[in-house]
Structure 1
Amino acid sequence: MKLATLQAQLPDFEIRLLTLADQEALLELEQSNPRYHQYFSPEPLTMTEVQHDLTAHPDELAAAQKQVFGFYLAHRLVAVLDVLNQYPQEQFLFVGLLMVNKAYQRKSVGRVIVTGLMQAALQANITAIQLTRVTADEGVAKFWQKLGFEDGNQLFLPLKAGGRLAVTTMTRLLQ
């Protein structure tokens, strides 16, 4: 996904590719959503985990296929969008994470970002957007369903602290 293509669809935001230099702002944003992190670990979120969020990608992908976009309003990071290009198939875009700062939730920020992402994806000849969501999080399910995403398979992710987390794939075909 080209930054310029996404920026053209979302002119009200300043959009930047996040790097390790942005980890403190990303930590603050993620800390505004403690419930999300609690699905994965009972321990507090650490800077090491934020660094991992900025760089982790499936082994079969090149690092360049991962992009982490930061969305700014009035020079404040209000949302993050982590995508994998050409994953799990060539003309797919995989959303690894969309998180909106708690202070900006329920104010259309997430919906506007995803709508702009879908338009930018169409321009880039992407045929589908896919993601996984925590199965137990019904609020997140409703958010994505309102945007036309449909549930797919349920998978189980192994957790570092032991056990597994149920996640559900969701896909939206683009026209």
Structure 2
Amino acid sequence: MKLATLQAQLPDFEIRLLTLADQEALLKLEQSNPRYHQYFSPEPLTMTEVQHDLTAHPDELAAAQKQVFGFYLAHRLVAVLDVLNQYPQEQFLFVGLLMVNKAYQRKSVGRVIVTGLMQAALQANITAIQLTRVTADEGVARFWQKLGFEDGNQLFLPLKAGGRLAVTTMTRLLQ
């Protein structure tokens, strides 16, 4: 996904590709959503985990296929969007994370970002957007369903602290 294509669809935001230099701002954004992190670990979120969020990608993908976009309003990071290009198939875009700062939730920020992402994806000849969501999080399920995403398979992710986390794939065909 080209930054310029996404920016053209979302002119009200300043959008930047986040790097390790942005990890402090990303940590604050993620800390505003403690419930999300609690699904994965009972321990507090660390800077090491934020660094991992900025760089982790499936082994079969090149690092350049991962992009982490920061969305700013009035020079404040209000949302993050982590995507994998050409994953899990060539004309797919995989959303690894969409997180909106708690103070900006339920104010259409997430919906506007996803709508702009879908328009930019169409311009880039992407045919589908896919993601996984925590199965137990019904609020997130409703958010994506309202945007036309449909549930797919349920998977189980192994957790560092032991056990497994149920996640559900969701897909939205764009054409």
Residues 44-73 of structure 1, C-alpha deviations (whole Å, 9 max, x = no match): 000000000000000000000000000000
| 1:96 counterpart = 2:96 | yes
Extract structure 1 runs of 4+ deviating beyond 2 A. none
1:79 match: secondary structure: strand
Helix, strand or coil at the partner of 2:171: strand
What is the CA-CA distance between 1:80 and the residue it aligns to? 0.0
Q: CA deviation at 1:87?
A: 0.0
Separation in 2, partners of 1:86, 1:99? 21
Shift of 1:155: 0.0
Partners of 1:110 and 1:161 lie apart in 2 by: 30
**Displacement, 1:103?**
0.1
Partner Cα separation in structure 2 for residue 106 and residue 156 of structure 1: 29
Q: How does 1:1-175 map onto structure 2 within 5 Å?
A: 1-175=1-175
Q: CA RMSD in A?
A: 0.1
Q: TM-score, normalised by structure 1?
A: 1.00
Deviation at 1:148, TM superposition (A): 0.0
Q: CA deviation at 1:114?
A: 0.0
TM-score (norm 2): 1.00
How far the C-alpha of 1:129 sits from its partner, in A, is 0.0
Q: CA deviation at 1:133?
A: 0.0
- 1:105-159, Cα deviation, whole Å (9 max, x unpaired): 0000000000000000000000000000000000000000000000000000000
Task: Please give the alpha-carbon distance, in whole angstroms, between the structure 2 residues aligned to 1:56 and 1:162.
Answer: 20
Q: Which runs of 5+ in 1 are unaligned?
A: none
1:20, distance to aligned residue in structure 2 (A):
0.1
C-alpha distance in 2, partners of 1:153/1:88? 14
Q: Using the alignment, how far apart are the partners of 2:9 and 2:130 within structure 1?
A: 19
In 2, distance between residues paired with 1:99 and 1:55? 16
> Partners of 1:54 and 1:174 in 2: how far apart?
27
How many Å separate the matches in 2 of 1:24 and 1:142? 30
Give the CA deviation at 1:86.
0.0
Paired positions, count = 175
Structure 2, unpaired ranges of 5+: none
3-state DSSP class of the match of 1:54? helix
